[in-house]
Structure 1
């Protein structure tokens, strides 16, 4: 999906924990065509990322919220607020060595005419580049490992925050790091001090995990149940881009009311309490368009989910000796896949 994104102003601060202080900029970025396109592409990817979470500030005292509100009230506060935000994040990074160093871009922007404060952490990537050494006898070109490369336009950011300056709502992508011996999300817990909803990816992981658990408990990991789940989800998405947990339970477990009830309870216990779940198109295409099975004899078959329950294309037959025969039908040509 394309969004109408307009970058109004931006500043870049260097948060490299190999040195003991942040390198803060006193002047904003020059927003020319290349820089504007670079930021807009990254923000588009952020908005479409299935790991994006909605969040809200909490607490009576919240420094990050107050700084954003100050910028929303008067954009002249942008420079000082951005420095304060960079310092807050750098202090957390210094105390927790696993957090990756990177450049921090703070920006004021509009998304579909709504005002946002953006915080993009461009974590450093390691790569190789050339180096020209000028010597008396001439140039000597070599290859060096560069440890502070920024993510390219086509790469997704691991950490980003978009704060709506009118509603206070937060759109958040964050990465878990080891803090005090435990994997934690430092942006939401220690910087923003906010509550977060589940991302689309997290919701689908809960459904997958609970389905496999119930399938193993009651149906001995019957592959038919897994295919059926994908088919139910796929059909719901085609109808309205949403899936209902009740509908999944009803279609998968049919008249077995006890299993249906347990399935829904396990979903809710895992933190997914919504009745209907919006499934982004990218996740739908990746997870629910095809189904892959593997036999105990080592044969793997990957087939379009639309063929499930279509005996004209593929048929599974239970034999008297307990084995299963798989018949693939109406094939006009076979090609080799490397």
Structure 2
């Protein structure tokens, strides 16, 4: 990924002091600082937690983007800072932080980036020197940024007006603040598909474990092979012996707008969560198994007992390791 920065600035949005502080100069992009910002931008393009969204074309931000010229960068960044801060003053639950506004080129496409760096608290040392030597104490620093994690950000393709939106805040306020029609992220789409399917499975199967595991295995296989989840195909594969259940599940998918959904993953690491399956019994016993093993009766067998309980038999175990 090649990124060339044109303008980058940081404004302080600390509600505890009652007003924001606008920087009068662009940020000096020394090597470590540039690497820090580049890392976060790269993650936004690759993360399955980022949603693709579209502007409300009547909204203020969209009009600002349409008329944007690079010589307007400073005024644009100040308007963004003001927009954030005024909203934050009305919602005390939104965390204080600094907002980084940047214009850059990535793979010959022009972008505007808005990244909110939320403050977190951490302890550091403080040294006071007097006639008797140096006294060291611990103090709490509040305006510390995480080097690995951001919760709120927006990337805008200035040419196509495509939007990448990350909002992991509890308030989920960015779409409203920036007048954007928010779509579900890839991760959120997968959660919806799983929820609907699991609901149908729990309703129709007395022992749903095997069917749920089949679902997870089918999802993982498609992600590994094509970095995508074709919803209709996965449902058909999961319920191939139960046509009525398949049709009911697809009806529910259609009601939620997922019937013809092809969920394309930007990061195939999402498949990792599907390669194992954890079982927990009402007696407190937990078993974690490779997903594909759960169908192999040479290794595990589920037995429905006459009294309505379930027995689990683990087979061909060569060694038990205490962890």
TM exceeds 0.5? yes
Q: Is the 8 A contact 1:161 1:172 kept in 2?
A: yes
Paired residue for 2:65?
68
User: In structure 2, what is the equivalent of residue 182 of structure 1?
Assistant: none
Paired residue for 2:191? 205
Q: Does 1:302 align with 2:302?
A: no
TM-score by length of 2: 0.92
Number of aligned positions between the proteins: 322
Unpaired segments of 5 or more residues in structure 1?
179-184
**Using the alignment, how far apart are the partners of 1:228 and 1:259 within structure 2?**
14
- SS of aligned partner of 2:246: helix
**2:107 aligned with 1:121:** no
Looking at structure 2, the residues matched to 149 and 81 of structure 1 have their Cα atoms a distance apart, in angstroms, of: 26
Instruction: Select the residue among 198, 211, 233 that pairs with 1:247.
Output: 233
Contact 2:50 2:185 in 1 (8 A): yes
Q: Distance in 2 between matches of 1:313 and 1:88?
A: 59
Is the CA contact (8 Å cut-off) linking 2:152 and 2:169 kept in structure 1? no
Counterparts of 1:99-248 in structure 2, within 5 Å, are: 99-152=94-147, 155-178=148-171, 185-190=172-177, 192-220=178-206, 222-248=208-234
1:9–1:109: 8 Å Cα contact kept in structure 2? yes
Work out whether 1:281 is the aligned partner of 2:278.
Answer: no
- Residues 221-275 of structure 1: CA distance to partner in whole angstroms, max 9, x if unpaired? 6211211111121222233222222223222223433322221232233343543
Per the alignment, in what secondary structure is the counterpart of residue 156 of structure 1?
coil
Aligned pair in 2 of structure 1 residues 88, 332: CA closer, same or farther (>3 Å)?
same
TM-score, normalised to structure 1, is: 0.88
- Mapped to 1, the partners of 2:156 and 2:286 lie a distance apart of 46
Report the CA distance between 1:172 and its aligned residue.
Answer: 0.6
Aligned residue number for residue 333 of structure 1: 319
1:37 and 2:35 matched = yes
| 1:17 Cα offset (Å) | 0.5
Q: In 2, distance between residues paired with 1:176 and 1:260?
A: 36
**Residue of structure 1 aligned with 2:79, choices 72, 75, 84:** 84
List runs of 5+ in structure 2 lacking aligned partners. none
Q: Which portions of structure 1, spanning 4 or more consecutive aligned residues, are displaced by more than 6 angstroms?
A: none
Secondary structure, in 3 states, of the residue corresponding to 1:18?
helix
Of the structure 1 ranges 327-336 and 97-106, higher mean CA displacement relative to structure 2 is found in: 327-336
- Distance in 2 (CA, whole Å) between partners of 1:75 and 1:254 is 56
CA distance in 2, matches of 1:59, 1:69: 10
Report the equivalent of 1:48.
46
Query: Hey, what's the Cα distance between the residues in 1 that align with 2:223 and 2:170?
Result: 34
Q: By how many angstroms is 1:86 displaced?
A: 0.6
| CA-to-aligned-CA distance 1:119-146 (integer Å, 9 cap, x gap) | 0100111111111234454432111121
Q: Kindly tell me: are residues 137 and 272 of structure 1, through their superposed partners in 2, closer, same or farther at Cα, counting changes over 3 Å? A: farther
